[in-house]
Amino acid sequence: MILRAKHNFLIYPFFKLYSVWIIKRHFGVIKVLGKFQEKNLPIFLISNHISWWDGFWSMYLNVKVFKRKFHFMMLEEQLRKFWFFNYTGGYSVNKKSKSIIETINYTNELLTDPSNMVLIYPQGEIITMHQQSFQFEKGIKRILKSHEKYQLIFQVNLVDYFSAKSPGIYLYFEDFSDDCSDVVTMQESYNAFYKQCIENQNKISQTL
């Protein structure tokens, strides 16, 4: 049986505020780059997984842009170790157990509620942000549906110092409006979007 997400009435609001506070404290520049059209649909957020910060960055993006109830898939062993994340929207996945079917069904259930946002990392592991080609795990195919059922959003997180003492975080996002049932097309589109974000970072550096 999986650990389903909980949103404790004290811990969850604190986590939202804490995410914004800790990012502002540790990053000299915070840029949110993208356009969002509200369609009153659930948000399915696909993001690169590069560090311990990833969940905080997505929560920041959610607070500033999407304003949904935050949910995220997390390895069961990690969620049991850091149990408090269960009270901030974290739910478990165990790739070596039959319970993965339950996790997929639960994710699909969450994506029927317009007030929800679900974050996953389709690469399945932390990968350096310098890699520009990602291979999505096959399990994501069981979650994908028509884009009329939810908004599929790509997120790319990039960190740069440029000439500053403190790092800057650049949160790129894009609404993926093509056929969501084709994981190959989605993977190729995400990789293309990632390269566009890298190119934009290069343009920013040339203006400094």
Integer angstrom CA distances of residue 42 from 85, 106, 184, 199: 21, 14, 22, 30
H or E element: which one contains 163? Answer: none
How many whole angstroms separate alpha carbon 20 and alpha carbon 42? 22
Please check whether residue 1 lies inside any domain of the structure: no
Q: Assess contact for 70 and 88: CB atoms under 8 A.
A: yes
Least confident of 2-11, 143-152, 184-193: 143-152
Give the ranges where 144-182 is alpha helix by DSSP (H). none
Whether the pLDDT of residue 165 is over 80: the answer is yes
pLDDT of residue 180: 65
How many whole angstroms separate alpha carbon 176 and alpha carbon 80? 33
Please check whether residue 176 lies inside any domain of the structure: yes
What number is the average pLDDT over the span 21-49? 96
Please check whether residue 4 lies inside any domain of the structure: no
What number is the average pLDDT over the span 80-87? 95
Integer angstrom CA distances of residue 12 from 5, 9, 30, 111, 141: 11, 6, 23, 20, 30
How many whole angstroms separate alpha carbon 208 and alpha carbon 52? 28
How many whole angstroms separate alpha carbon 115 and alpha carbon 185? 27
Please check whether residue 186 lies inside any domain of the structure: yes
pLDDT digits (tens, 9 = 90+) for 176-199: 877 666 788 889 999 999 999 999
Whether the pLDDT of residue 46 is over 90: the answer is yes
Whether the pLDDT of residue 159 is over 60: the answer is yes
Who has greater pLDDT, 148 or 22? Answer: 22
Burial of 161 (0-12, 13-18, 19+ CB in 10 A): exposed
How many whole angstroms separate alpha carbon 133 and alpha carbon 191? 6
Domains: count for the chain: 1
pLDDT of residue 147: 55
Please check whether residue 3 lies inside any domain of the structure: no
How many whole angstroms separate alpha carbon 79 and alpha carbon 107? 16
Please check whether residue 190 lies inside any domain of the structure: yes
**CATH number of the CATH domain containing 83:** 3.40.1130.10
Which domain does 166 fall in, by range? 11-207
Q: Assess contact for 155 and 45: CB atoms under 8 A.
A: yes
pLDDT of residue 4: 97
> Average pLDDT over the chain, rounded to whole?
92
Please check whether residue 27 lies inside any domain of the structure: yes
Q: Is 4 helix (H, G, I), strand (E, B) or coil?
A: coil
Please check whether residue 170 lies inside any domain of the structure: yes
